[in-house]
Amino acid sequence: MQDVTVRRRKSRGKLQGRHNASLACLADVNNNNSTNICKTSDSFYDKPWKDQRRNSHPAKAKSCTELRIVGKAERRHAAGFHTRRCICRWVMSYGRLLWPDQLKLDFSQGCPVCRVSFSTEEALRNHMQKQHGRDFDVMLDVTDRRIVRSTMRLTVKYLARASRMIIRVENYSEVVLILRAVYLFGLDQRLESTFDGVLRMVPGYSYEIEHTVKQCIPNYQYTMILSATVAGSQVELIEQYYVQMLKSTPMAGNQLKMGILPYHHIPQYLIDLYLKEFEHDNHYDRLAMLCLENLRKFNKAGLTPTSYVEHLRLLNMIEDYDLQTTFATYTIPKVTLKPMEQARRYLITLDQFDVPPNLLEEDGYARITVTKHNRNVDNNLEFINGYIDAVNETGIVVTMQAPVRFTLPCRVEFPLNRTQYKLEYEALAHISKIDLDQLLFPKVLAKKRRPVRQVKFDWFQPTIAANAEQVTAIRNIVNMTSYPAPYIIFGPPGTGKTSTIVEAVLQIWRQQPRAHVLVAASSNFACNELTQRLMRFVPEADIFRFFSRSCERNIETIDMEILEISNLATGIYEIPTYEHIYGSRIVVSTVTNCGRLAQAHVIPTFFDYIFIDECGSAKEISALVPIAGVGTEGSKIHASVILAGDPKQLGPVVRFEFLKKTVHNTSLLERLMAQGIYKRDPNTGEFNSLVITKLLDNYRSHKSLIHFSNEWFYEGELRARAASELTDWAINWNCLPNMAFPIIFHSVVGITRVDKQSCSSFNKEEAQKVLFYVQKMLTDGINERQIREQDIGIVSPYRRQVSFLRQGCRNYGWEEIEVGSAEQFQGREKPVIIVSTVRSQRKHVGFLANTRRLNVVITRARCLLIIIGNPDTLQNDPHWYRLLRYIYENNGVRGIDFVLRKPEDNFAAREEEEDFA
């Protein structure tokens, strides 16, 4: 079953010394390196392995283990077989203290997790089935302590023809670990030992093991258990991983040939206007004066067919340049990089930034410039590119393409990724050729309408048949009743907007065998949700998920069944082939990534329908990307466009103040709904169902949870249709002030503090109350119902409060509780939502006054909503006052007593200080 010969792993280049040093460490276990597993150490960054390298000898390492460690090149030469990547998902890590005699126990007939020996194999098997179950659940002892992140990194590949797993383990921590065991829980529900020895691993050291398996089934979830001790201590670490093998279907055919996107230079006259904040100045040149005049004229008139392209192009260039300017302020001329435990990974602390890097996000670009010499000579500068790996409370973590030499001066920049803007400029170029009145400014229905063919449907989702609005929307979408104008699905929270889209796509797939559908959404989460629902009914060969390159870094978070039908099927990003696009009836991708199809000159007549979900949260120019050049050719509109969203929830994210007062702050869906054929009939008050449908049945929440939003945002038209067994189980909870009302407003008079690094606000008193409710629910449950961490969502509008609450949850070991902003929760739902408003002892509520943000926050919960805040501050805003009055009148208030008072006119609109998210 296992190879037992010894072979020292080869390494190349500058890493040679590090690998030799790590191998030399096998012979020398330093008992003086005692450390605490819950406290990170900075000693590794002094590079102690260099000292060990000077005194080490390769022969020592060669005799330290009986496990075969094989180099990558040799393995490929010996096997010559196709390697399949496995997706490894870290489940949990925990530590425990062991007695010295326990470290010497032989567990060849025992459980390595429970540390219990058994005399017979049958007794061991019974223990596995009873204590760990079919999927091997690690059972925590009361004395064990959960670790907030993995201490090791596991990667697995599978050699199909040789039936071998290539298991690679890396010390991901900053302490020296003694690896003692690696187990695989196989198909026969038995733990197979893949490594049974002692291996000393310094931080960053990795090794590979070859393990022969009888069979490896694609998509089957295996469990791997890693056991190690911290060098010089009695602390044992146990880590659990889930491992699933990809089918690794190779991309066959000709890859999409992406044309080069033009740079789209920002003209100097627009830069001059930007620097003067678009105010009049007699020193402007003629072009700047003309541009300023056009901007004012455009903003006054709004979007019109004649000025549409030029208007959106100007606004997009302003946002483009504003972000370029903002990202340039994050440059650090002389940066101090702190090496992380992984090679080529570095931490840049926040105190080195002149301005808070609030806009830096994961997957953004990073570039380090190293000055080789002090004198000015050719090739004096070395450029190293990379990307932002993580953004946390301590700083920015970057991963670079090559190691950085710290003995030389370094400069770090964070260039703006302009791909999105380039694709939007290209979309404008395509859209300028068509008749805008028909597609984007429809005032009347087309005279020559397509005949209605499909009337009767066999529903894929049986619940659709009982919903009149969903039936109407699907029938009209399939029959293209609005073509060439877009069809709009107006979907308030919980009304089944995603189900409607999925059913419409499925009906097109079934009833029109020659039709092809492009499904787009603003986020990868939404795209994956749509893909997963479609796959329940559509064969794999008929659907293709088109990922962008950045998704490869988070591949472990994507469901296996989605990966198998995507361009990440081999475990690495590959450009899709024309055969994958043309051979699929349904293609799913993000709004921005759909621009790649036009860039690759995919036939514009190929897609018959284009769906855009979450259209209400996208800029109008962004919504054009999946349409222009993809469903249009020259002046012709080939595809029927369907827009889905809710204009009453959060709209486009626009940060530049000047643009917030322009049409750039309005989505395509919202603009269309306010004019022409999409407006309500003034006589009947009804929408024209041939072009728009408003969904009315809420399937998400308890009736009390949707009542406020229904009255103030949706004209009281929503109907509570959720099943009582899903929404009523929090009723009669002993923490509810009103046992029949599942909403709590807990009044807390805290202190709003501003973080010096991020300028964002946080509130410790509110955070403590949030954690109090979380602990009570997880410990005691609700009405004898066990509450899982996944059932709870914590929402706060301020970035610093979000990070503060995340850290608080980690301190308790609550890793599965989702904490985020209103933007991150839009389109999501949880059984329990806890809201921390943060603003306290202020005369205004800042950007909490945004009614759409309020609507999103209070409509995420299915069963229980808890709002924590300062009532004296919140009721200064008229909408928050109405919400507090609603809760107050239903006896849902806890905490400090307060008196409701109606806010002064326009008082909430006054801004006395800058408010940072």
Tens digits of per-residue pLDDT, 476-517?
999 999 999 999 999 999 999 999 999 999 999 999 999 999
Distances (CA, A) of 267 to 274, 288, 427: 11, 10, 19
Lowest-confidence range among 122-126, 550-554, 621-625, 647-651? 122-126
Percent of the chain with pLDDT over 70: 86
Higher-confidence residue of 905 and 450: namely 450
pLDDT tens for residues 522-536?
999 999 999 999 999
Outline which parts of the chain fall under CATH 3.40.50.300. 463-695, 703-895
Higher-confidence residue of 696 and 447: namely 696
Q: Check whether 242 has a pLDDT greater than 80.
A: yes
d(CA 305, CA 443): 12
Task: Return the CATH fold of 463-695.
Answer: Rossmann fold (3.40.50)
Q: What is the pLDDT of residue 142?
A: 64
d(CA 240, CA 151): 11
Structure tokens belonging to residue 396: 């920015």
Q: What is the pLDDT of residue 15?
A: 30
d(CA 567, CA 880): 46
Tell me the mean pLDDT in the region 847-875: 94
| pTM attached to this predicted model | 0.83
CB atoms within 10 A of CB 883: 22
Q: What is the pLDDT of residue 39?
A: 35
Half-sphere exposure of 628 (CA within 13 A, CB side): 23
Cβ density class 334-354: b for 16+ within 10 Å, e for less: ebebebbbbbbbbbbebebbe
Amino acid symbol at 635:
S
- Most confident segment among 84-88, 236-240, 767-771: 767-771
Average pLDDT score over the chain: 84
Architecture field, domain 331-413: Beta Barrel (2.40)
CB atoms within 10 A of CB 629: 24
Structure tokens belonging to residue 514: 């020659």
Stated as kind and residue range, the H or E segment containing 774 is helix 764-780
**Residues 793, 857: contact at Cβ < 8 Å?**
no
Q: Check whether 38 has a pLDDT greater than 70.
A: no
Residue 756 CB contacts under 8 Å (≥ 6 apart), including other chains: none
Q: What is the pLDDT of residue 54?
A: 31
Half-sphere exposure of 540 (CA within 13 A, CB side): 10
pLDDT tens for residues 60-72?
333 332 333 333 3
Q: Check whether 384 has a pLDDT greater than 50.
A: yes
d(CA 530, CA 542): 14
Lowest-confidence range among 321-335, 385-399, 629-643? 385-399
Q: Check whether 788 has a pLDDT greater than 80.
A: yes
Name the percent of the chain in helix, strand, coil, to the closest 5: 30, 20, 45
pLDDT tens for residues 701-733?
999 999 999 999 999 999 999 999 999 999 999
d(CA 743, CA 735): 10
Architecture field, domain 88-104+139-245: Sandwich (2.60)
Q: pLDDT confidence of 3, banded at 50, 70, 90?
A: very low
In terms of DSSP H, where are the helices of 696-763? 703-713, 724-727
**Residues 701, 862: contact at Cβ < 8 Å?**
yes
Nearest to residue 563, comparing CAs of 234, 245, 204, 106?
Answer: 245
CATH 3.40.50.300 fits 703-895, yes or no: yes
Lowest-confidence range among 6-10, 190-194, 325-329, 650-654? 6-10
d(CA 641, CA 627): 8
pLDDT tens for residues 641-690?
999 999 999 999 999 999 999 999 999 999 999 988 999 999 898 999 99
Outline which parts of the chain fall under CATH 2.40.30.230. 331-413
d(CA 426, CA 262): 9
Q: What is the pLDDT of residue 164?
A: 84
Q: What is the pLDDT of residue 749?
A: 93
Residue 268 CB contacts under 8 Å (≥ 6 apart), including other chains: none
d(CA 883, CA 889): 10
Q: What is the pLDDT of residue 161?
A: 72
Cis preceding linkage at 604, omega within 30: no
Distances (CA, A) of 615 to 627, 638, 855: 12, 20, 17
Residue 788 CB contacts under 8 Å (≥ 6 apart), including other chains: 816
- Please give the radius of gyration of the chain, using alpha carbons only, rounded to the nearest integer: 30
Q: pLDDT confidence of 376, banded at 50, 70, 90?
A: low
**Residues 349, 388: contact at Cβ < 8 Å?**
no
- Most confident segment among 65-74, 149-158, 416-425: 416-425
Residue 60 CB contacts under 8 Å (≥ 6 apart), including other chains: 24, 26, 27, 28
pLDDT tens for residues 458-468?
999 999 999 99
Residues written for the chain: 917
Nearest to residue 526, comparing CAs of 629, 607, 615?
Answer: 615
Tell me the mean pLDDT in the region 341-349: 84
Lowest-confidence range among 154-158, 436-440, 781-785? 154-158
Q: What is the pLDDT of residue 102?
A: 61
pLDDT tens for residues 42-55?
332 233 233 333 33
Percent of the chain with pLDDT over 90: 56
3-state secondary structure at position 365: strand
Q: Is 723 exposed, middle or buried (0-12, 13-18, 19+ CB in 10 A)?
A: exposed
The backbone torsions φ and ψ at residue 894, rounded to the nearest 5 degrees and listed phi first, read: -130, 170
Q: What is the pLDDT of residue 625?
A: 97
DSSP 8-state assignment for residue 136:
T
Lowest-confidence range among 185-194, 396-405, 654-663? 185-194
3-state secondary structure at position 99: coil
Half-sphere exposure of 817 (CA within 13 A, CB side): 31
Q: What is the pLDDT of residue 756?
A: 76
Q: Check whether 135 has a pLDDT greater than 80.
A: no
782: β partners: 785
d(CA 240, CA 92): 6
d(CA 256, CA 597): 8
Q: Check whether 866 has a pLDDT greater than 80.
A: yes
Q: What is the pLDDT of residue 508?
A: 96
d(CA 699, CA 713): 17
Q: Check whether 377 has a pLDDT greater than 50.
A: yes
**Residues 705, 742: contact at Cβ < 8 Å?**
yes
Q: pLDDT confidence of 801, banded at 50, 70, 90?
A: very high
Starting at the edge strand that comes first in sequence, how are the strands of the sheet with 586-590 ordered? 543-545, 586-590, 517-521, 609-612, 640-645, 487-490, 692-694
Tell me the mean pLDDT in the region 541-568: 90
Tell me the mean pLDDT in the region 161-185: 86
Q: What is the pLDDT of residue 4?
A: 35
Between vectors from CA 478 to CA 474 and to CA 484, what angle results, nearest 5°?
A: 115
